[in-house]
Amino acid sequence: MKTRDRLRIAMQKSGRLTEPALELLNRCGLTFRQSRDKLFCFGDGEPVDLLLVRDDDIPGLIAQGVCELGIVGRNVMNEFQLAAGRDSAPLREWRPLGFGRCRLSIAVPQEFDYRRPQDLAGQRIATSYPGLLGEWLRTHGVDATAVTLSGSVEIAPKLGTADAICDLVQSGGTLVANQLRETEVLLESEAVLAGPVALPADERGDMIDLLLKRLDGVIQVRESRLLLLQTSRATLEAVTRLLPGGPQPTLLPVLGQPDQLMLQALCAGEVSWRQLEEIKKAGAREMFVLPVEKMLA
Ligand code: PRT
Ligand code: ZN
């Protein structure tokens, strides 16, 4: 069989991950002919095409070699690996992507007196993640029954079909609405770039290398902030000590105020209100936090 020379990336056709995944690929310079109602989306510039599928199908498509990469929740990828077992080609999380964050947690009805994992012994736990739940129960030596449901897991205790649940939580609103209390976090999840452990050793592998480099640049820029502020020479040291990590700041003179300096610092992550207030207390004023759009060192 002739190997493909174009790279295929699988992503969710319509759901929580669709928009952020497309935006990320666009930022990496990948654009696609818009036929979003179809399964297949042809890439415009680079030799990269998209497969638009249900998120649950993505790990299997990679394992079968139908596509080289996929953008999928860590929860779905890890569950697939546990369910597929050793017979399936192993997958690797090539990059965490920083969106679609949630956690897989155990939650119990408010009246359930939960203190430790052993309290779940003999109970029925409803979940769409029997693999991940089973692994957690085994590690904690708990003998409980996983009741596998494909949706509406959160109403199982009310219906009397389960005593507890194991489901994805983001804001916690769904749990509160169903009088459930989160008791254990099994997995912290986010969207990831998934692929085979061994990348193809042809043009597709080269394209993946290029894509990973662009992705790293995009992620770095997305998390960078430029902090601008004014300080007097007397408070400069105290202010500098509080700056969030990043390369050495730049100092500029302020016209007509020889005692004042303008400081410019690139920060590696979000700068919170709390951090700004602390820096201000140390003597800074006129503070700005700006997003960075592109960066070329
Ligand atoms: O059709 P397809 O199978 O592709 O879509 P889907 O319905 O299976 O997936 P979708 O779009 O709901 O979620 C895709 C991925 O987004 C998941 O696999 C997770 O990796 C991630 N994600 C992030 C979430 C959530 N946050 C989330 N809150 N997936 C689901 N939820 C659900 C959760 O199941 C629960 O019902 O939202 C509810 C909890 O939310 P809170 O905010 O009330 O806590
Ligand atoms: Zn799904």
Average pLDDT over residues 69-86: 93
Q: What is the average pLDDT across 216-228?
A: 91
Q: What is the pTM of this model?
A: 0.87
More confident residue, 60 or 87: 60
- Closest ligand 1 atom, residue 171 Cα: 42
State which of 11, 103, 132, 168 you would mutate to test the pocket of ligand 1, scoring each by most atoms of that ligand within 8 A of its C-beta: 168
CA of 30 to the centre of ligand 2 (A): 25
| Residue with CA nearest ligand 1 atom 9 | 15
Contact 183, 109 (CB under 8 A): no
Top pLDDT among 224 and 69 is at 69
The strands making up 91-96's β-sheet, listed across from edge to edge, are 40-41, 48-53, 7-12, 69-73, 191-196, 91-96
β-strand partners of 230: 262, 285
Residue closest to 28 by CA, chosen among 171, 185, 220 = 220
pLDDT at 204 > cutoff 80:
yes
Topology alike, domains 7-100+191-221 and 224-291: no
Intra-chain end-to-end CA distance of the chain, in Å: 43
Superfamily of domain 102-189: Periplasmic binding protein-like II (3.40.190.10)
239-287 per-position pLDDT tens digit:
999 998 777 899 999 999 999 999 999 998 889 999 999 999 999 999 9
Average model confidence (pLDDT) across the chain:
94
> Ligand 1 pocket, 100 CB below 6 A?
yes
The answer, yes or no, to whether any atom of ligand 1 lies below 6 A from the CB of 55, is: yes
Is 172 near ligand 1, meaning CB less than 6 Å away? yes
- Cα→Cα distances 170→105, 167, 223, 272, 289, Å: 10, 10, 21, 21, 27
Domain made up of 7-100+191-221: CATH architecture: 3-Layer(aba) Sandwich (3.40)
Residue 2: band (very low, low, confident or very high) from pLDDT cuts 50, 70, 90: low
The third-level CATH classification (topology) of the domain covering 224-291 is: Alpha-Beta Plaits (3.30.70)
Instruction: Identify the burial level of 196 via C-beta atoms within 10 angstroms of its C-beta, where 0-12 means exposed, 13-18 middle and 19 or more buried.
Output: middle
Q: Which of 8-17, 107-116, 165-174, 242-251 has the lowest mean pLDDT?
A: 242-251
User: In this structure, what token pair is assigned to residue 139?
Assistant: 């590690």
Residues 166, 172: Cα–Cα separation, whole Å = 13
| pLDDT confidence bin for 29, thresholds 50/70/90 | very high
Of the candidates 167, 174, 219, which has an alpha carbon nearest to the alpha carbon of residue 192?
A: 219
Q: Is 174 in the pocket of ligand 1 (CB under 6 A)?
A: yes
**Domain regions of the chain by residue span:** 7-100+191-221, 102-189, 224-291
- In the chain, % of residues over pLDDT 90: 84
From the list 210, 222, 215, the residue with the least C-alpha distance to 294 is 222
